[in-house]
Structure 1
């Protein structure tokens, strides 16, 4: 399914008044993982600015031990500090990478802003080398803008 075709489905989930915010986040994870062939793991991390840590939220994919990540550590931790998208074409080439699974080859992390503050991020792993394009970034920015309306 194309990113363009997925956009109204994202809006349909975020505007559903019969489910909780966490249920909406999980449904978005499921939607993306099921419809974008190279999205292997899709999840959210949320920031605790007092402790400077990220905490795992809803996700789909392989179980992870990385439920709390310090700011600055790994790709997600770096995005918590930089406030910028981070696309990793080959995780093996990254020094500051936290391995979740030996099958993961690439990663994209896009920050989630609410009222100008980075409150978390969407994190996507792929078992394919270098699959992420500018279109992925733009689509995930759209997803996060829709999610931001929930806060």
Structure 2
């Protein structure tokens, strides 16, 4: 039987041995909120490969992001898209959902990661897209 301390040490060792999570982010060169979202990811331990794109519509189409789920930037991690201002915690949860093509925060809700503008926080949802095209709510973030 493991002691609590031994279990904690084993978990810590496994976390240190884990590869850093890498996200490829595609964004327009003139977008400030995209770089703020990249900062959010990096502050949560993600490694970001930043790709400047002139035709974001083509990137979204290539990655299977439906126009109704679109935002300004698009990330890719483990073959799944991450559209818009998805919180880092939801990206980690997405990795456990291989049945999904990706996750999105449509639009640019104020208060979402990268869209912080003071005390205002609009309500928003993280939407998952299934391989068959169905959408499901993965998380709700209430207005504050």
Query: Which TM class, normalised by the smaller chain length?
Result: under 0.3
TM-score calculated relative to the size of structure 1: 0.26
Instruction: Return the structure number with greater relative CO, CA threshold 8 A, min gap 6.
Output: 1
**Higher Rg:** 2
Higher helix share: 1
TM-score calculated relative to the size of structure 2: 0.27
